[in-house]
Amino acid sequence: MLKYIAKRLVYMVGVFFVVSVIMFVLFNNVPGDRALNQVQNMRGKVSNERFQEMYQQARDKLGLDDPIPVRYVKWMGNLLRGDLGYSTIYKKDVKEVIAEPLRNTILINIIATVLALAITIPLGIFCAVKKFSKFDNAVQVFTIVGYSVPIYIIALVFIYLFSVKLGIFPISGMNTPNFQGTGFAFLVDRLYYLGLPLLVMTVASLGGMTRYVRAAMIDALRMDYVRTARAKGLKEKVVIYSHAWRNALLSVITLIIGWFMSIFMGSIIVEQVFQINGIGLMYYKGLLGQDYDIALAIQMLYCVITLISNLVTDLSYGIVDPRVRINK
C-alpha cells in the first residue's frame, strides 16, 4: 500500500509540473498587456513621460520583459514557497484575495453535496428496488428533465418562482446590506442568502446521480450472490444494503468522491448568476481582467484537487471491495 501511494505521489508531482508549464505558457501568451491594464487609470492624470515610466516599472515588476522560461522558474519558485503572486486588480497578494472566496465556496458546496447525496442515494436505491413502478417511472421522467436542463436555466426559473413571485429568497448577494450582526446571527443571515443557490445546486445534481445509483443498484440486484442471499432467508434490507449496495458502491464511489473534492472548486455559473463571492467567480474575474496570478493560482488549485481526488478514488476501491488490490 505505502509503495503504491509513493509511486502515485511521484506521478502526481510529475503531472503537476507538466500542467503548470502548459498553463503558464498559455496564460502568458494570451493577447493583451497586463502592465498597461495596471496603469491605464493614470493615463491623462500624469505627463506622458511619467506614464511611460510607470508603465515600464509595471512591466519590470511583472517580469514581462524576461523570457518565458525565466518567468516560469521565478513563478514556480514563489509558488513552492507559498507565494501565489500579486493581484493587479485588487492590489493585494493573491493569498489574501482568494482566502474569503475559498471559504465561501467550501461552505456552499459542502452543504449542497451533503443535501444532494442524502436525497439521491436513498432515492436511487428505492427506485432500483421498485423498478418500473409508477413511482420509479415518475422519478425517471423528472430526473431526465433535471439532467437535460442546464443549471443556469434552473437558476433563472427558481429566481422567478422563489424571488420574484413568492419573495421567499433574495435574488443575489451574500448577506443583508450593512448587516452588523456577528456570530450565529451572521451565519443565519448568510445561510438565508445562500438558500436559493443551494436549492439550485441541489436540484441540478439530483438527476444524474439518482439515475447513476439506480442503474448501479439494478445491476447489483441481478447478481447471483443476491439471489443466493435471498435463498438463505436473509432479510430484504440486509440483502439490499449489506450485499447489493456495497457492490453497487464500487461504481458510484467515483462520483461521490468527485463531488466531495469539488467543494474546493466552486461553480462559475451559479456564483456568477447569484453574485456569490466564491472561487469560481474569482477565477472568472481574474481571466476577464487579465489578472493571471489569480487565475493561475486557482487553476493549479484545481489541478491539485483533481490529482488528490484520483488518488483517493483508487484507494477507496480497495476499501469498498477487498477483491481490488491496490498494492501494485
Q: At what angle do helices 134-148 and 94-129 cross, to 10 degrees?
A: 150
In this predicted structure, the answer to whether residue 264 has a pLDDT above a threshold of 70 is no
Strand partners, 308: none
Q: Predicted confidence band at 14 (pLDDT cuts at 50, 70, 90)?
A: very high
Q: Predicted confidence band at 326 (pLDDT cuts at 50, 70, 90)?
A: low
% of the chain beyond a pLDDT of 90:
6
CA distances for 82 relative to 68, 77, 93, 94, 297, angstroms = 21, 9, 11, 10, 10
In this predicted structure, the answer to whether residue 328 has a pLDDT above a threshold of 60 is no
Q: Which CATH class is domain 95-320?
A: mainly alpha
Q: What sign has the CA pseudo-torsion 180, 182, 188, 194?
A: positive
In this predicted structure, the answer to whether residue 135 has a pLDDT above a threshold of 80 is yes
Torsion, Cα 36 42 48 49, to 10 degrees, reads -80
Return the higher-pLDDT residue of 318 and 242: 242
In this predicted structure, the answer to whether residue 117 has a pLDDT above a threshold of 70 is yes
In this predicted structure, the answer to whether residue 18 has a pLDDT above a threshold of 90 is yes
Q: Predicted confidence band at 287 (pLDDT cuts at 50, 70, 90)?
A: confident
* Domain residue extents for the chain: 2-85, 95-320
pLDDT at 324: 62
d(CA 61, CA 39): 12
pLDDT tens for each residue of 195-223: 898 888 888 888 888 888 898 889 888 88
Provide the CB-side half-sphere exposure for 194 (13 A, CA). 23
Q: What angle do CA 9, 11, 15 make, to 5 degrees?
A: 115
In this predicted structure, the answer to whether residue 30 has a pLDDT above a threshold of 80 is no
For residues 95 and 82, the answer to whether their CB atoms sit within 8 Å is: yes
For residues 111 and 104, the answer to whether their CB atoms sit within 8 Å is: no
Return the higher-pLDDT residue of 327 and 273: 273
86-87 and 92-93 strand pairing: antiparallel
d(CA 89, CA 98): 12
The DSSP-derived string for 230-266 is HHTT--HHHIIIIIIHHHHHHHHHHHHHHHHHGGGT-
In this predicted structure, the answer to whether residue 35 has a pLDDT above a threshold of 80 is no
In this predicted structure, the answer to whether residue 45 has a pLDDT above a threshold of 80 is no
The DSSP-derived string for 276-322 is --SHHHHHHHHHHTT-HHHHHHHHHHHHHHHHHHHHHHHHHHHHH-T
For residues 289 and 222, the answer to whether their CB atoms sit within 8 Å is: no
Return the higher-pLDDT residue of 313 and 153: 153
In this predicted structure, the answer to whether residue 38 has a pLDDT above a threshold of 80 is no
Mean pLDDT of all residues in the chain?
A: 83
DSSP 164: I
pLDDT at 47: 79
In this predicted structure, the answer to whether residue 81 has a pLDDT above a threshold of 60 is yes
